[in-house]
Amino acid sequence: MNREVLAIRHVHFEDLGSLELELGERGRLVRYLDVGFARIEAPDPVSASLMVVLGGPISAADDDLYPTLVPLLSLIEKRIAAGLPTLGICLGAQLIARALGARVYPSGRTELGWTPLTLTDAGRASPLRHLDGAQTSMLHWHGDTFDLPDNATLLASTPACENQAFAWGDHVLGLQCHPEIRADRFEPWLIGNAGELVAHGIDARRLRAETAQLGPTMEAAARRMFGEWLDQVEAQSKP
C-alpha cells in the first residue's frame, strides 16, 4: 500500500499539526503541496493513500480572485469519485462540500475561538466521539459556512455553525473546526492573523491563554479521533 499522504497547504502555519504526529507514528510520509508554490493540477489525485485539504483565509467560492480554486476542486472531485480517503479542515471542508455540489457562503458572523462541539447521534457513533463537547473544547476560525451536501451525514454542530463536521460515504470527512491545532505552535496563528483579531475585537492574549489551557486535552482527543478514522478507512480499503 502506498504510505504517502498528500496535504494541500494554503498558508504555512496551517499544517497538519498534531495529526502529522499520528501519521508519523504510523510510518506515513507526508508530502505538502503549498498553494502558490506548486501547480495544483500536478499531483495524481488517486496516487496517495490519503489526501488532506487544509485551511486558509480565503473563501472557497472566490474563483475569480484565486485561480487555484478551480483546479483544486477538480482534484478533490476526482479523488472522491475514486472512493479514496479524503479529509478537509476548515477551508478544506468547505471545498469538499462544494465539490459535492453544496453551496458555500458567508455565514454572517465570524466564529473565532474555543467552543465545544455538540455531536449528533451519528457523530457519537463515529470517531468524532472523542471530540464530544463533554470531553473537550474545540478551536474555530471561520466566517463562511456551507450547506450539508446531498447524502452527507451531519456529525457535529455549534450554536454559531450548524454544519461543523460531516461524513460522506465511508471515505470522506469534512471538519469546519480545527482539531489539528497544537498549543505549542499556536503563536504563528496569532501573528499571521493579527489584523483579523483586531478587526473582530479579539485580544490575542486571551486567545493565547485559552489555547494553552484547552489545547493539550483537545490535541490528545484529536489524535484518538484521527487514528480511529484512519483505522476505519484503511480497513475498508483492504480487499
What integer is the mean pLDDT of 197-223? 97
Rounded distance between C-alpha atoms, residue 217 and residue 63, angstroms: 37
pLDDT (tens digit per residue) in 13-37: 999 999 999 999 999 999 999 998 9
CB atoms within 10 A of CB 12: 11
Name the pTM for this structure: 0.96
Question: Contact 34/48 with Cβ under 8 angstroms?
Answer: no
Enumerate residues 6+ apart whose C-beta is below 8 A from 232.
127, 170
What integer is the mean pLDDT of 117-132? 98
What integer is the mean pLDDT of 93-107? 97
For 202, phi then psi, to 5°, come to -100, 125
pLDDT (tens digit per residue) in 133-149: 999 999 999 999 999 99
Rounded distance between C-alpha atoms, residue 202 and residue 192, angstroms: 14
Q: Please, which pLDDT band fits residue 235 given cuts at 50, 70 and 90? A: confident
CA atoms within 13 A on the CB side of 235: 7
Question: Contact 136/89 with Cβ under 8 angstroms?
Answer: no
Rounded distance between C-alpha atoms, residue 49 and residue 188, angstroms: 29
Enumerate residues 6+ apart whose C-beta is below 8 A from 206.
none
What does the domain layout of the chain look like in residue ranges? Answer: 4-237
Catalytic annotation, residues: 90, 178, 180
Rounded distance between C-alpha atoms, residue 19 and residue 15, angstroms: 9
What integer pLDDT is reported at residue 88 of this predicted model? 98
What integer pLDDT is reported at residue 238 of this predicted model? 64
Q: What length is written for the chain?
A: 239
Strand order in the sheet with 29-34: 29-34, 4-9, 50-53, 86-89, 172-175, 161-168, 152-158, 118-119
What integer is the mean pLDDT of 120-135? 98
Q: Which three three-digit cell numbers place residue 91?
A: 477551508
Fold for 4-237, please state it. Answer: Rossmann fold (3.40.50)
Q: Which three three-digit cell numbers place residue 83?
A: 472512493
**Amino acid of residue 160:** A
